[in-house]
Structures are given as structure tokens and as C-alpha cells.
């Protein structure tokens, strides 16, 4: 299997799989039970895996949000739940989502996917993707559905961390980067208003395309760390997990 083809193939499904639980009904319900809102829960939970960090580090990690939004919402969530509790509970919400979604997938497919990701994680240097490092440090569940989902989250955060580094080196601002992503589909969700819409040049668009290709190339290098059987497992697992998002089946 071509590693660059796999890098392209995985980008969108892994990006979507790993984020699908953030604002799901199950996650929203758990946020309410804990006495917070789902947005604060998202920032405190996802950001909580970073450890004890200052607000600037949160904003730098959540680079594509309007500066100040991530750190503000993180502080609000942490004030309500505590950082460690938020991280642990948010990860548990991911596990609950997986068990409510991936029940129709053969356990051996999920296990092979998770094992392949762990072999990547065992070889990737730390500090290139802080959120990926944080999720890796958490205890992963043993059941196939939840473990495979944690693996998908790790892989999403790994690519995201690599991509963020490339964006920063290229000099694209958070607003420009976010506005060029899916033609601004996440712009408002990431805290921006119409007043924040940047002037986009052809140079910006060309830089964005180059960044995407360089991200694929960086992921290709990472995928070279595993053998072809593991790469096949990533391809097969991501495909069936992505399909299950539209047709969820609880684990029996």
C-alpha cells in the first residue's frame, strides 16, 4: 500500500471520526450531569490532557480558534470541573460514544486498527503534537470499540499537531487558516465574527494548498514506521468506523 496514498485517504475520515463525539447527545448529557455546558466541557476536557499549562499554551495548541477563546473557555470549564477530572471525564465520554456506535464492526478489525496506531505511537517522538501526547498518556480502555476510538482520536491529534506546526512555520494567522479551511465552515464555530473575516489573497490560497500537501508528506513519513499489514488495518478500520458514524449500532 502506498504510504502517500494512505496519508491522503486517512486525512478526512480520521479527522471526522476523532471529533464526532465532541458535541454528541451523549457527551452533552454528561456535561449537564457534571454541572457544565458542552462547550466548556470540550475545552476543559480536550485541553485538560495537556497537563498544567498556562492560557497562552492553550491558545497556541488550539491555534485555529480566535485568540483568547480557547483559553477563556478552558479556564471556565476547569473552574467548574478541575483539569484532571475534565480530561478523565471527557475521555470517558469518548469511550461511551464508541460503545454506542461501533457495535456492528468486527472486533478483530477494531483491534487491528488500534494495535497499528499504538505501534505508530511507540515510535513517534513526543512534543510534535501536544494533544496526541496527552491522549496517549491517558489509560486506554481494553474493549475493542473504545480502544479503537481512542486510537482514532490519537491519530487525529497527531495529524493535527503536525499540521499546526507546518501552518505556523508558513506564517498563516489563525484567522486566515480557519477561514480557508472548508471555505470558512468552522469560522463562526471557532469564535470569529464577520468583522474578523480576513482579506484572502491568491498567495494565501497557494500557501494553504502547499501546507496541506506538506502535511500529507509528513504523515507519509509517520506511516512508514509501520508495516504494510498495519497500514492495511488503518485503511480498513478507518473506513468502517467512518461508515458507522451514519449508521451507529451499540455494542451488545
Under the banding of pLDDT at 50, 70 and 90, the label for residue 246 is very high
Q: Which of 23, 17, 185 is nearest to 114 (CA)?
A: 17
What local confidence, expressed as pLDDT, does residue 36 receive? Answer: 97
235 near 88, Cβ under 8 Å? no
How many domains would you assign to the chain? Answer: 2
224 and 134 in one domain? Answer: yes
Place of cell 480530561: 87
What local confidence, expressed as pLDDT, does residue 55 receive? Answer: 84
Mean pLDDT, residues 171-179: 96
**Structural domain boundaries, residue 170:** 1-20+104-247
pLDDT in tens, 193-206: 999 999 999 999 99
73-77, 152-156, 182-186, 200-204: segment of lowest average pLDDT: 182-186
Mean pLDDT, residues 102-123: 98
Mean pLDDT, residues 177-204: 95
Residue 252 within a domain? no
Q: Which of 159, 158, 121 is nearest to 140 (CA)?
A: 121
Mean pLDDT, residues 127-136: 96
What local confidence, expressed as pLDDT, does residue 183 receive? Answer: 86
The rounded distance, in Å, linking the Cα atoms of 109 and 105 is: 7
81 and 39 in one domain? Answer: yes
> What sign does the CA torsion over 8, 177, 17, 146 have?
positive
Q: 50-68: b or e for each residue (b if 16 or more CB lie within 10 Å)? A: beebeeebbbbbbbbbbbe
Residue 200 CB neighbour total at 10 angstroms? 14
Strand partners, 61: none
Q: Which of 42, 77, 100 is the last residue of a domain?
A: 100
119 and 2 in one domain? Answer: yes
pTM of the model: 0.97
Residue 229 within a domain? yes
Amino acid at each position: 500500500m502506498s504510504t502517500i496514498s494512505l496519508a491522503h485517504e486517512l486525512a478526512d475520515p480520521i479527522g471526522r471520526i476523532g471529533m464526532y463525539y465532541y458535541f454528541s447527545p451523549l457527551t452533552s448529557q454528561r456535561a449537564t450531569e457534571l454541572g457544565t455546558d458542552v462547550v466548556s466541557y470540550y475545552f476543559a476536557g480536550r485541553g485538560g490532557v495537556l497537563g498544567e499549562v498556562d492560557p497562552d499554551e492553550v491558545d497556541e495548541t488550539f491555534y485555529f480558534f480566535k485568540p483568547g477563546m480557547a483559553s477563556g473557555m478552558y479556564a471556565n470549564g476547569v473552574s467548574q470541573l478541575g483539569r484532571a477530572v475534565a480530561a478523565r471525564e471527557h475521555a470517558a465520554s469518548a469511550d461511551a460514544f464508541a460503545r454506542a456506535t461501533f457495535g456492528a464492526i468486527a472486533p478483530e478489525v477494531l483491534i487491528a486498527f488500534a494495535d497499528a496506531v499504538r505501534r505508530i505511537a511507540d515510535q513517534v517522538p513526543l512534543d510534535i503534537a501536544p494533544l496526541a501526547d496527552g491522549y496517549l498518556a491517558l489509560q486506554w480502555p481494553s474493549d475493542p470499540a473504545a480502544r479503537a476510538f481512542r486510537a482514532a482520536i490519537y491519530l487525529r491529534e497527531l495529524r493535527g499537531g503536525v499540521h499546526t506546526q507546518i501552518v505556523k512555520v508558513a506564517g498563516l494567522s489563525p484567522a486566515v487558516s480557519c477561514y480557508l479551511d472548508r471555505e470558512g465552515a468552522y469560522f463562526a464555530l471557532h469564535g470569529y465574527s464577520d468583522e474578523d473575516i480576513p482579506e484572502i489573497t491568491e498567495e494565501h490560497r497557494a500557501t494553504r494548498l502547499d501546507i496541506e500537501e506538506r502535511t500529507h508528506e509528513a504523515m507519509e513519513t509517520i506511516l512508514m514506521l509501520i508495516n504494510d499489514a498495519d497500514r492495511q488495518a488503518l485503511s480498513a478500520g478507518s473506513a468502517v468506523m467512518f461508515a458507522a458514524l451514519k449508521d451507529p449500532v451499540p455494542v451488545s
